Amino acid sequence: MAQSDVAGRDERAKAAAGAAAAAERGPSGESLGLDAEGLAGLRELVRAWRAGPLAKATAAVPPRAERFTTWSGLELPDLVTPAEKPVRYAEELGLPGEYPYTRGVQPTMYRGRLWTMRMFAGFGTPEQTNQRFKYLFAQGQTGFSTAFDFPTLMGYDSDSPRALGEVGMCGVAVDTLRDMEVLFADLALDQVTVSMTINGPAIALLGFYIALGDRRGIPRKLLGGTVQNDCLKEFIAQHAWLVPPRPAMRIVTDMIQFCSRELPRWNTVSISGYHIREAGATAAQELAFTIADGIAYVEHCLLRGMDVDDFAQRLSFFFDVHNDFFEEVCKFRAARRLWARLMKERFGAKKDASLKLRTHAQTAGVSLTAQQPYNNVVRVSLQALAAVLGGTQSLHTNSLDETYALPTEASALIALRTQQIVAHESGVAGTVDPLGGSYFVEWLTDKLEAEAREYIARIDQMGGMVAAVEQGYPQREIANSAYRFQRELETGERVMVGVNGYAVEGAGPGIPVLRIDETVQQRQCAALAAVKKTRDADAVRTALAAIRETARGTDNLMPPVIAAAAAYATEQEICDVLREVMGTHTDRTEF
In a domain, 37, yes or no: no
pLDDT at 38: 83
Other C-beta atoms closer than 10 Å to the C-beta of 127 total 14
In a domain, 121, yes or no: yes
Q: For residue 120, what are the contacts with CB-CB under 8 A and spacing of at least 6?
A: 145, 146, 147, 197, 362, 396
- Beta carbons of 319 and 331 less than 8 angstroms apart: yes
Q: Tell me the CA distances in angstroms from 194 to 197, 228, 256, 393, one per residue in order.
A: 10, 11, 17, 14
User: Dihedrals φ, ψ of 33, to 5°?
Assistant: 90, 0
Rounded to the nearest 5 degrees, what angle is found at the Cα of 560, between the Cα atoms of 533 and 154? 70
Burial class (CB in 10 A: 0-12, 13-18, 19+), 282: buried
Q: For residue 81, what are the contacts with CB-CB under 8 A and spacing of at least 6?
A: 42, 46, 439
What number is the average pLDDT over the span 386-398?
97
In a domain, 402, yes or no: yes
In a domain, 256, yes or no: yes
- Beta carbons of 248 and 581 less than 8 angstroms apart: no
In a domain, 575, yes or no: no
What number is the average pLDDT over the span 31-41?
72
- Beta carbons of 584 and 155 less than 8 angstroms apart: no
Output the average pLDDT for the chain.
Answer: 92
In a domain, 38, yes or no: no
Other C-beta atoms closer than 10 Å to the C-beta of 487 total 11
Residue 201, SS3 per DSSP? coil
> Which domain covers residue 409, as residue numbers?
91-491
Helix 537-552 to helix 558-566 angle (10° resolution) is: 170
Asked whether the predicted pLDDT for residue 53 surpasses 90, the reply is yes
In a domain, 317, yes or no: yes
Asked whether the predicted pLDDT for residue 197 surpasses 80, the reply is yes
pLDDT tens-digit map of 254-308: 999 999 999 999 999 999 999 999 999 999 999 999 999 999 999 999 999 999 9
pLDDT at 88: 85
In a domain, 468, yes or no: yes
CA–CA separation, 232 and 229 (whole Å): 9
| CATH number for the domain harbouring residue 247 | 3.20.20.240
Beta bridge partner(s), residue 365: none
Nearest to 236 by CA among 575, 482, 520, 490: 482
**For 227, left (φ over 0), alpha (ψ -120 to 50), or beta?**
beta
Domains in the chain: how many in total?
Answer: 1
pLDDT at 588: 73
Residue 224, SS3 per DSSP? strand
Asked whether the predicted pLDDT for residue 135 surpasses 70, the reply is yes
pLDDT tens-digit map of 231-254: 999 999 988 899 999 999 999 999
Confidence of residue 85 (pLDDT cuts 50, 70, 90): confident
Helix 571-582 to helix 202-216 angle (10° resolution) is: 140
Rounded to the nearest 5 degrees, what angle is found at the Cα of 383, between the Cα atoms of 377 and 386? 145
Torsion 133-386-107-302 (CA) sign: negative
pTM: 0.92
pLDDT tens-digit map of 499-540: 999 998 876 668 999 888 889 999 999 999 999 999 999 999
pLDDT tens-digit map of 3-17: 444 444 455 445 444
pLDDT tens-digit map of 319-377: 999 999 999 999 999 999 999 999 999 999 999 999 999 999 999 999 999 999 999 99
pLDDT tens-digit map of 467-499: 999 999 999 999 999 999 999 999 999 999 999
What number is the average pLDDT over the span 83-98?
89
pLDDT at 507: 60
**Of 76 and 588, more confident:** 76
What number is the average pLDDT over the span 454-463?
98
- Beta carbons of 401 and 384 less than 8 angstroms apart: no
Confidence of residue 33 (pLDDT cuts 50, 70, 90): low
CA–CA separation, 314 and 434 (whole Å): 27
